[in-house]
Amino acid sequence: MELKLGDICEIIVGGDIDKNNFSEIKTEEFNTPILTNGIGENALRGFTDKAVINVPSVTVSARGTIGYSEYRDYPYFPAIRLICLIPNEDLDTKYLSYFLKTVTFNLAGGSIKQLTAPMVKKITINLPPLKEQRLIASILDLFTNLITLIDKEIELRKKQFEYYSYYIFNSLNNIPKIKLKEIVSLFTGKQVTKDLLNEEGLYPYYNGGINPSNMTNTYNNKKNKVIVSQGGENAGYVNFVTSNFLAGNHCYVLNLINENFCNKYLYYSLKSIESKIKQSKQGAGIPNLVKKVFLNFDIPELSLTEQKEIVSVLDNFTNLIDLLDKEKVLRQKQLTYYLNELVK
């Protein structure tokens, strides 16, 4: 049975925030979260003293992260046009939240797109019996909860890595240092044209971001290299690439010229001072990492044996994080598959 959401849901649109009843932090008086159009923690704007929604519901972003939906089982105050759906007794709230993740929204507006309550009201949903809805939601919850657990494990392992990395390199403060210009030469890629880019390509294309900007079928650097973002908001970000790759003109590739150092030790050393490297970037418009300044940074000068011992310790954490990331991707694919199979 197909029904319109407007016929089986109460739909409420968030309004303005009362500045007289607002706190940026949670207090005894202001303890009700104010939610806006954002994902996860970014949706939290602050706190107020009175909830508008007091029953389980689903929120849908109408601006910015348009269409992002989330199940809410706690009282809250919706703001800035956030759309809230409260289903009637024929529609399970959790089932509704999963259904909305399958919807492709047709957006209104010109240059600034938006989602409106009337548009949401017109969306049709196939409504199986309530018992079946709850069964479907419980199956999908298994994958969702597992992904949440994996996320928590990843955060824990990242904190462990940061702790041991800080401990190791902080203990080397009194060790003689050597400047990067004595260890590496910098390769800077060239401007890449669109015809070289292909989402189905074999090799990642790095150009100043944290993650690959795209994929390609050509490369200008071989695997197991340290790269550093040269320009943009991520200038100074240190990465280690384990496959052949194409470097763009905003990507520094570090090529070792000193046989007494290994790439992975260089990576972990630079990662430990990444915040300092980022702080050295220059430029008011598009910040950039000046080559001369970057090459003046130094790292502890250790024997190859000592370097490999450090690499071995820190690799234990990064390898585990990589495995967890792959596990998360797998579980997300499973969730997507069952979501599309069960919620139609």
Higher-confidence residue: 112 or 326?
326
Cα 143 to chain centroid, rounded = 19
The whole-number pLDDT of residue 280 equals 93
Q: How many Cα atoms within 13 Å fall on the side-chain side of residue 148?
A: 7
The whole-number pLDDT of residue 159 equals 95
In the structure encoding, which two tokens stand for residue 30, read together? Answer: 């202001």
CATH no., domain 2-127: 3.90.220.20
The whole-number pLDDT of residue 318 equals 95
The whole-number pLDDT of residue 183 equals 96
The whole-number pLDDT of residue 209 equals 87
Mean pLDDT of 64-70: 91
Q: What is the pLDDT of residues 104-154, one digit of tens each?
A: 887 765 556 789 999 999 999 999 999 999 999 999 999 999 999 999 999
Find the DSSP H helices in 55-128.
93-100, 117-121
The whole-number pLDDT of residue 41 equals 87
The whole-number pLDDT of residue 295 equals 96
The whole-number pLDDT of residue 241 equals 96
Mean pLDDT of 260-265: 96
CA distance 231 to 237: 10
Q: How far is CA 292 from CA 181, 207, 231, 331, in A?
A: 9, 20, 14, 45
CA distance 309 to 142: 40
Mean pLDDT of 7-18: 94
2-127 and 176-301 in the same fold = yes
Q: What is the pLDDT of residues 303-315, one digit of tens each?
A: 999 999 999 999 9
The whole-number pLDDT of residue 231 equals 86
Mean pLDDT of 53-66: 93
DSSP helix, strand, coil percent of the chain (3-state; round to 5)? 40, 25, 40
Under CATH, what is the fold of the domain 176-301?
Adenine-n6-DNA-methyltransferase TaqI; Chain A, domain 2 (3.90.220)
Give residue 80's pLDDT band: very low, low, confident or very high (50, 70, 90).
confident
Q: What residue spans define the domains of the chain?
A: 2-127, 176-301
Mean pLDDT of 57-77: 94
Mean pLDDT of 184-192: 90
Mean confidence (pLDDT) of the chain: 93
